[in-house]
Amino acid sequence: MSPDNLAAQNQVEGLQGERDRWWSLAAVECGNFVVYMDGFIVTLALPAMARHFGVGLPVLKWVIVAYLLTVTVTLLPAGRLADIWGRRRIVVIGMGVLALSSVLCALAPTVGSLIAFRILQGIGGGLVLANVMAEITAVFPKQERRKAMAVNASILALAQVTGLVLGGLLIGQFGWRSLFLVILTVSLAGLILSLCVLKARPRTQDRSAMDWTGAVLAIVATSAPFLVIERLSSAGLNLASLALLIGGVAALVLFLLVERRLPKPLLNLSLLRSRAFLCGSAAAAFYFIAAVSCYFLLPLYAQLVLGRTPVMAGVLVVPLSLVLTATSLTVSSLGNRVGARTLSTAGMLSISAGLLGLSWLGPDASTAAIVWPLVLLGMGGGLFHPPNNSATLNTIPPEHLSVANGFLSMARNFGQAIGAALAATLLAHGLGAAGADGALAGAVGARLSGQPLDAFLGAQELAYRLAAAMGLVGAVVSVVRGAELPGGAPMGPMPVATVNDGRRC
C-alpha cells in the first residue's frame, strides 16, 4: 500500500474511531440522563403524593432518599461486576431494571410498595451509573476527555431541567403516576441504544473475583449514616443512635481490613493512595451534600410558601441548569490552561455563596431574589464538575476504571442522598409532627401561614446554611488535592496498580 493510501486509511479509521467514541458517549449518557432525572423528577410530586396517600414528609422523604441510597450502595459492587462481566452487559441489565421498576412505581397501590419499587429502581440506576464515567475515560483520549466530561455535566443539568419542568407539567395534567412513564420511555430508549452501540470489551477479572463479603460490609457502612440521621430526627441522641453509629464505623473498619487482605478486593485500596483520586471523590461528595438541598427545598418552597403550581415551581430552577450547562462547556474550552484545583475550588466557593443567598428567602421573595443565588449555584456546578471528574480519574489504570468510577459515583450519590436526607429531616423537625403531615397536603396554590410558615422558613434557613458550610469543607478538600502537571495529571502520590494475581507493579 502506498504512503498516500495508508495515510488516507488511517484518517478514515481515525474518523470512524472518533464517531464510535461519541456514539458510546451518547449511549451511556442516556443512562446518566434517566438516573439523574429520576432523582429529581419526584421532588415536585411530594405534595401530590401526600394528598393521595395521606402521609407526610417523614414518610414521603423515603420515596427520594431510598432511591438515592440504593443507587449509592449499588455502585461499588456494580463497578466490580462490570470488571467481571463487562460494562455493556451491566449497563443493559441496569436499563432493563429501570424500565421494569418504572412500570411498578406507576402502578404502586400504597406508599410502602412505592418505596419498595423505588429501591428496585435504585438498583437499576446504580448498575447504569457505575459505568458512565468509566466508559468515557476508557474510550476518550486525555486531550478530549475534559470535553466529554463537560458533556456529561451538561446532561446532568439537562436531566434536572427535564425532570423539574416536564414533571411539573405532567403532575398538573395527568397526576404523579405519569412521572414514571417518562422514566420508562427514556429507559427503553437507553436500553435500545446501549444494545446497538456499546461494545463488549474483554473481561479484566474472572468470575470468582467478586468480593461479596466486602459488598455486604460496604452496604452496611454506607447505610448506617442514614439510619443514624433518622434516629436522631425521631428520638434524639440515645443508645440506639449510638449503637447504629458504632455499628457503621465497625462495618467500615471491617471492610477496610477485608479489602486489604483479599487478593481480589471489591475496592483496590491502592487507589486511595492517589491524593487526586481521594480528594476528588471527597470533594464530589461534599458538592452534592451542599447542592442537592436546593433541588429538594426550592420546589417545596415555591409550592408551599409562594403558592406556585408544580410546573412554575419547576421552571424556577431552570436558570441554575442553563448556567451550569453554559459554564461546563466554557470550562472545557479552557483545556489544560487552568488546573482542576483552581476551577473546582472556585466552583465550591460559588456553591456556598449561592446557598447562603437562598437562606435569606422570605415569605414573599421576588423572582430576582431567587434567581441570582441559582446563577451562582449553576456557575459553581459548571466550574466544579468537568475538571474534578477528569482529574480524579486521569491517574487510574485502565484495569481499575470501573471500580474507580464506581467509587467516585458512590461518593457523588452518597452526597446526594445525605443532602436530601438532611434537608428533609431538618424541614420535618422544624415543622413538627403535625405540621410535617399537614404542610404538604394542602390544595394546589394554597400558601402556608402563621406558625407553619415561620417553622418552614426557619428550617429552610438552617438547612441552606448547613449546606453552605458543607460547600466550604468541599472547597478545602479541593485545595489539598495537589497541583496538576502541564499534561493534566495531578502531582502527588500515584496509585499503585495491581494485576489480577495481586502483585504490585
How does pLDDT run across 299-324, given as a tens digit for each residue? Answer: 889 988 998 888 888 888 888 888 98
Q: Which residues are registered as beta bridge partners of 498?
A: 504
Residue of 359, 371, 395, 396 lying closest to 471 (CA atoms)? 359
Q: Quick one: pLDDT band at residue 370, thresholds 50, 70, 90?
A: very high
Angle between helices 401-439 and 57-85 (to 10 degrees): 170
Contact 501, 335 (CB under 8 A): no
> How many angstroms separate the CA atoms of 130 and 133, rounded?
8
Q: Looking at the domain that runs over 21-210+266-479, which CATH code has it been given?
A: 1.20.1250.20
Of 140 and 457, the structure prediction assigns the larger pLDDT to: 457
Residue of 412, 300, 222, 307 lying closest to 42 (CA atoms)? 300
Contact 171, 45 (CB under 8 A): yes
Residue 268 main-chain phi, psi, to 5 deg: -70, 105
Q: Which three cell numbers stand for residue 332?
A: 472545557
Instruction: Kindly report the number of other CB atoms within 10 A of residue 214's CB atom.
Output: 22
Check residue 202 and give its pLDDT. Answer: 55
Instruction: Scan for cell 448556567, then name that residue.
Output: 323
Instruction: Scan for cell 403532575, then name that residue.
Output: 171
Check residue 380 and give its pLDDT. Answer: 93
232 burial via Cβ count (<10 Å: 0-12, 13-18, 19+): middle
Residue 498 main-chain phi, psi, to 5 deg: -130, 150
pLDDT tens across 120-166, in order?
Answer: 999 999 898 887 777 777 778 776 777 787 777 777 777 877 777 78
Residue 51: alpha-carbon gap to chain centroid: 28
> How many angstroms separate the CA atoms of 402 and 408, rounded?
10
pLDDT at 494 over 60: no
Residue of 226, 243, 296, 295 lying closest to 73 (CA atoms)? 226
- With a CB cutoff of 8 Å and minimum separation 6, the contacts of 212 are none
Q: What is the DSSP string of 261-308?
A: H-SS-SS-GGGGG-HHHHHHHHHHHHHHHHHHHHHHHHHHHHHHTS--
- With a CB cutoff of 8 Å and minimum separation 6, the contacts of 66 are 115, 118, 119, 122
What length does the chain have?
505
Contact 73, 223 (CB under 8 A): yes
Residue of 391, 307, 313, 376 lying closest to 346 (CA atoms)? 376
Q: Which residues are registered as beta bridge partners of 490?
A: 484
pLDDT at 343 over 50: yes
Of 18 and 217, the structure prediction assigns the larger pLDDT to: 217
In this prediction, residues 262-268 reach a mean pLDDT of: 77
pLDDT tens across 414-423, in order?
Answer: 898 899 888 8
Check residue 3 and give its pLDDT. Answer: 43
pTM of the model: 0.79
pLDDT at 427 over 80: yes
> How many angstroms separate the CA atoms of 259 and 51, rounded?
47
Check residue 457 and give its pLDDT. Answer: 92
Check residue 214 and give its pLDDT. Answer: 82
Question: What single-letter DSSP state applies at residue 354?
Answer: H
